[in-house]
Amino acid sequence: MATSAPLPRDGSRPRGGSLPRGQVTRSDVARYAGVSTAVVSYVVNSGPRPVAEATAERVRDAIRVLGYRPNASARALRTGSTQMLGLVVPEIGNPLFAEMAIAVEQCAARRGHAVLLVNSESDPQVERTLIRSLTARQVDGIIISTVQHGSAVVDLPTLGVPVVLLNTFSAQDGVETVGVDAREGARLGVEHLIGHGHTRIGLIIGGAEVEAREHGWQDATRAAGLPDGPLARETFTREGGYRGALRLFGGSDRPTALFASSDMQAIGALRALGELGLRVPEDVAVLSFDGTDEAEYAAPRLTVVRQPVEEMAEEAVARLIDPDPERAPHHASFTPTLVIGRSCGCAAPSEGTATTAPAATAAPAPA
């Protein structure tokens, strides 16, 4: 009735004795409990067949005594699911992506999935290789947070595994996408600066292509009847922000406010402004896009347009793990919110109680 002893392949497995050494398999458990291996599976997985309580108890005892742990590789091979998700980020050193990785990992963990994290360092070639290696590892789905907005990251459909693009501003053909309404977010932020009386607002942004945050910045200034401010294209890093701010504010005809497309750039800009002898917010108001923890501890605390990172991560994970077969791939757009700090010139909202959460939160923008 019990299955036969496992055949040693190289002499390293035990030949006798009741407590097997080395990896304990379900067949050891079956033998110890005096049941078939199928029953062990039924108990471990609570199904798909019912098991008499007395039998189940014997199996659970055996599992405890032997210290049995199911082999995930075998299970994955059999079921076709590894219960793993891949996450591709462009740079984990950027707190925005670090926070995103945390959020994704926690959402996935709640659903019993682990996360294989890879870091492309913003290199499209590396990104492609990493995505391929993730599929080779049989992940059940891949979340890609890419810097390559316009371009096709990789030939997604040939991947043979569900993909969702996270941190993408707009819909893309045939791919699930999740992102923030960056245009509206930028508009909201710049509008706030205009509300403080600024009429010349610089922009630091990335890449070469015109994207949503630049449009939002224009939307706000044009709606107020103002001319476009000056603009600097730099990488989404502290250094990029530093260089951009030196350029925008180093001359005589400088703007009185800055909208930075990322917290990292704003942090770099703060240093540049300090070196130029400009005070924030007295001489230059600063507002940035992202809303990471680091921005909260910048000096002065940054006023930010906050991306709802947790919600976005949750959506991406949910779509991968519980896809809606009814629906074609679509784009989920999240609404960013304004979080007031000190860098925009508002009165300090929570001076002296910096240990708690962000201060005022503006109402979500109208759809």
Partner DNA sequence: CTGAAAGCGCTTACAG
Smallest CA-to-CA distance from 317 within 55, 102, 96 is with 102
Residue 244 or 336 with smaller CB distance to a second copy: 244
Check whether the bond before 124 is cis (ω within 30° of 0).
no
Q: Is 250 exposed, middle or buried (0-12, 13-18, 19+ CB in 10 A)?
A: exposed
Smallest CA-to-CA distance from 156 within 171, 174, 170, 178 is with 174
354 touches DNA (CB under 7 A): no
Residues that bind a second copy (CB under 8 A): 23, 67, 69-74, 76-77, 82, 84, 92-93, 95, 98-99, 101-102, 105-106, 109, 114-119, 132-138, 158, 160, 238-239, 242-243, 267-268, 270-272, 274-275, 293-294, 296-299, 301, 351-352, 354-355
Query: In the window 34-53, what residues touch DNA (CB under 7 A)?
Result: 34-42, 44-45, 48-52
What residues contact residue 211 under an 8 Å CB cut-off, 6+ apart? 149, 169, 182, 205
152 touches DNA (CB under 7 A): no
Residue 76 or 194 with smaller CB distance to a second copy: 76
Min dist CB 239 to a second copy, Å, is: 5
Is the separation of the CB atoms in 219 and 275 below 8 Å?
A: no
Distances (CA, A) of 300 to 100, 160, 260: 24, 48, 15
32 touches DNA (CB under 7 A): no
Residue 155 or 173 with smaller CB distance to a second copy: 155
172 touches DNA (CB under 7 A): no
Partner from DNA, a second copy, none binding residue 150, C-beta < 5-8 Å depending on class: none
Min dist CB 298 to a second copy, Å, is: 8
Min dist CB 134 to DNA, Å, is: 16
Min dist CB 191 to a second copy, Å, is: 28
Chain position carrying tokens 């000056």: 230
What residues contact residue 268 under an 8 Å CB cut-off, 6+ apart? 237, 238, 239, 240, 241, 242, 243, 244, 245
332 touches DNA (CB under 7 A): no
Is the separation of the CB atoms in 115 and 166 below 8 Å?
A: no
Query: In the window 57-86, what residues touch DNA (CB under 7 A)?
Result: 68-71, 74-75, 77-79
Min dist CB 91 to a second copy, Å, is: 8
The first and second tokens of residue 83, run together, are 């219960």
Binding site for DNA (CB under 7 A): 1, 3, 6-7, 9, 23, 25-27, 34-42, 44-45, 48-52, 54-56, 68-71, 74-75, 77-79
